[in-house]
Structure 1
């Protein structure tokens, strides 16, 4: 029965994809996914899996990885380790051309989260993308700014009153739209739970100061504007509801599945990066040593020798690793100038070449702890009371304020018990995950991350 159901779902997905292709029987359009400020291509992993589970060919799904993902404080001035809006636009343009050449397609679909949407709009309006893009989908993009105040950081890319965003929002076409004509546009936003679409400046370090931005800030005149109630700044791109809205906008029909269909055999690979002068980077951390272990789901203990133990080369690639969709993993990164970084992950449901890892440093304030363990959720923020979060028996997990979902991590500075299991549990609606890691000793320069990816 299970095989029959999978066959029927695959058949239904194939019909949907045929319907969305420009010519019956042709392949669906390639999609290029564009991550946000400070992020990596890896955040799109589960979204890619959902497209694959609905029959989208893996070779027509591409996630951009900007080398320097962090925006400059002043977009008009060079800043070490950070990128300008123009640099993001040019990198995206080159990636689109590469995808078009590889697939033979004439146009792509662009899907972006947050700052990724800035790059998409800039490319379409100012970089020739109006000819190479059929659909542009922007999730949580601060299209009217995170703030709109000409007197506060006036040249920042996220200032809605600055030259960059006012230029993108200038009226276009017979209806004075804010979007470039000639292609289809969609935005997804929260009703009130996006930390970067708030009337008060608390999330930009200016509590009590009006931002002149509302929850409607990500919407654009001329686009199909969708509200996803309760979702946060990242979830409006990475949540299953965001996937369903995007899939239907592209194909004209709802997806057969919003869940991920596991693969029996899983092949993993990715890149190791670190932290530069301007913050996190996606530049290869050449010479880093990466070891990967299978771990026990109940205790976090290693099950045998390393599955991978490799010094990465100039490209930063740590794999490949052949595994299955039932085995949780521990990734260990060692590199000069960094702490030995342990990352615990739940089993990977499907193959992925964007399992990107970042080495971390032990903060000076944390060196007195016996062990430092951080719970993090890269694809969404942690919100109370929306989410149920337990970390080492503490519920809610420490450091998560109630109200707007605005933090994506919780840190424990343990004073006893290096070597013992630490359990992290998360539940929000249909999303749930439980991961067990091990507390490694801070005195030996180890840091631990338990990474949620529901």
Structure 2
């Protein structure tokens, strides 16, 4: 635990790392395509991209695409608005790989996937011709044998170990019974027992006390190099320093020179602004994430005081989002804290506070919030979120507005990545949140005027 906190603290010491920012590029490195997981976006790979760059992997050989509809279908064989099938997901990856090969002239690529992204990669390599153009695969927290394998429980889902999809993927490929496609080098990364989607009990799928018939070793694959990362949660199997370390060693045969981002003198930030979709056949079912552009949204970027979240001056950047959903590029400072303000019809005006960006990034994806009906009684709403991992109150040093307890986060286990604070006053004030050495501060805004604040962790 102390080692883990030390690594996070190092990542925040951007000024001390500035001298390490000139790392000779390794121009012979193959391109890497990173595939995000269920309901996620390319943004989750931000720190991983920084770590690769800081160890000399050329920035123009790192690719993290957004799948338009990242959520899996409830039943893979039944069309569902706003969701993608395993075949659609594999076709998306195939097109991305072909685009990368054409752009770089490389003969082969490396594929790195988190969670559902691993299903997509395995499907593409096994059934979409990927075995001809992929040299290495790294799978973090991939539910390779399902999240559950219970007769009668959504057996058509790609997350069921009994699904036709996973049964085909896991069928033996040779006399040794290997589950991985030959001709490609495979690495799986899993937790020892802290991955919410590799649990023998169904607590995280709403079936506490019911056996899932999936073990902690569910993400491991016969025929692959299988590594256990003690204590990590589901997302940290891909986005933690330990995951990067294992990935770098697998790809290069050497230890990385650093596990943390090396600061640049100035940073250029850009990304996409996306929204939340509704099922046109059942709008009452609630919103779901997609990676479609939120055309017409307004974005303003303010430099803020890192200790309080108070704005320092007029907006440093303002933009109306076009049809491609892109925002930026915005040039900033690696030691500055920023507030990103998003406004769009049908959404709350969302104030996203971030800790400093030590390096440039083209995957600063932004999405406004909707004010939930259950929160209409609040004078102000502040969300504390950790996109690249979960909160574990026994494992982590965490506080939200000065309190150790996080609303909505259970005292045991790593399965929730956000916490919501409902304030009884609409008077603006500073709200701070901390996680293992990273601190983010922002301001509260009146909910009655349609505002929501988000304190978003980077690490």
Shorter-chain TM-score bucket reads over 0.9
CA distance in 1: counterparts of 2:201 and 2:115, whole angstroms: 19
Partner of 2:61: 60
Structure-2-length-normalised TM-score: 0.93
Instruction: Assess if the C-alpha contact under 8 Å between 2:338 and 2:355 holds in 1.
Output: yes
Residue of structure 2 in register with 1:367 after alignment: 376
| Structure 2 residue 197 is matched with structure 1 residue 196 | yes
Unaligned runs of 5+ in 1: 18-25
In the alignment, the residues of structure 1 paired with residue 84 and residue 277 of structure 2 have an alpha-carbon distance, to the nearest angstrom, of 12
- Per-residue deviation, residues 182-203 of structure 1 (Å, max 9, x unmatched): 0100000000000000111111
Q: CA deviation at 1:5?
A: 6.8
1:445 corresponds to: 450
Structure 1 pair 260/3, CA: closer, same or farther in 2 (3 Å)? closer
**Mapping of residues 369-448 of structure 1, within 5 Å:** 369-427=378-436, 432-448=437-453
Deviation at 1:232, TM superposition (A): 0.3
Give, in angstroms, the shift of residue 399 of structure 1.
2.2
Q: Matches of residues 206-355 of structure 1 in structure 2 within 5 Å?
A: 206-277=207-278, 279-355=288-364
Distance in structure 2 (CA, Å) of the matches to 1:186 and 1:435: 34
Q: 1:274 to 1:56 in 2, by over 3 A?
A: same
Q: CA deviation at 1:438?
A: 0.4
Distance in 2, matches of 1:237 and 1:287, equals 33
Displacement after TM superposition at 1:359 (Å):
1.4
1:112-151 alpha-carbon deviations (Å, 9 max, x no partner): 0000000000000010000010001100000000001231
Structure number with greater CO (CA < 8 Å, separation at least 6) is: 2
Report what 1:74 is aligned to: 75
How far off its partner does 1:3 sit? Answer: 9.7
Summarize the Cα distance change of 1:162–1:440 in structure 2 as closer, same or farther, 3 Å threshold: same
> SS of the counterpart of 2:422?
strand
Q: Give the total of aligned pairs.
A: 436
RMSD of aligned residue pairs (Cα, Å) = 1.4
- How does the TM-score come out when normalised to structure 1? 0.94
Alpha-carbon distance in 2 for matches of 1:122, 1:248: 25
Paired position in structure 2 for 1:23: none
Structure 2, gaps ≥5 residues long: 1-15, 280-287
How far is the alpha carbon of 1:176 from its aligned partner? 1.8
Shift of 1:280: 0.4
Is contact 1:388-1:396 (8 Å) kept? Answer: no
Q: Is the 8 A contact 1:150 1:159 kept in 2?
A: no
Equivalence map 1:129-168=2 (5 Å): 129-168=130-169
* 8 A contact 2:48–2:244 mirrored in 1: yes
Answering whether residue 15 of structure 2 is matched by residue 6 of structure 1, we say no
Q: Distance in 1 between matches of 2:70 and 2:350?
A: 21
Within 1, Cα distance between the matches of 2:428 and 2:358?
28
CA distance in 2: counterparts of 1:338 and 1:444, whole angstroms: 12
Query: What is the DSSP-based 3-state SS (H/G/I as helix, E as strand, rest coil) of the residue aligned with 1:119?
Result: helix
Distance (Å, rounded) in 1 between the aligned partners of 2:248 and 2:392: 26
1:400, CA displacement in angstroms? 1.8
Q: Deviations over 1:304-346 (max 9, x none)?
A: 1111111110001121111010110000111111111110001
CA contact (8 A) 2:18 2:264 kept: no
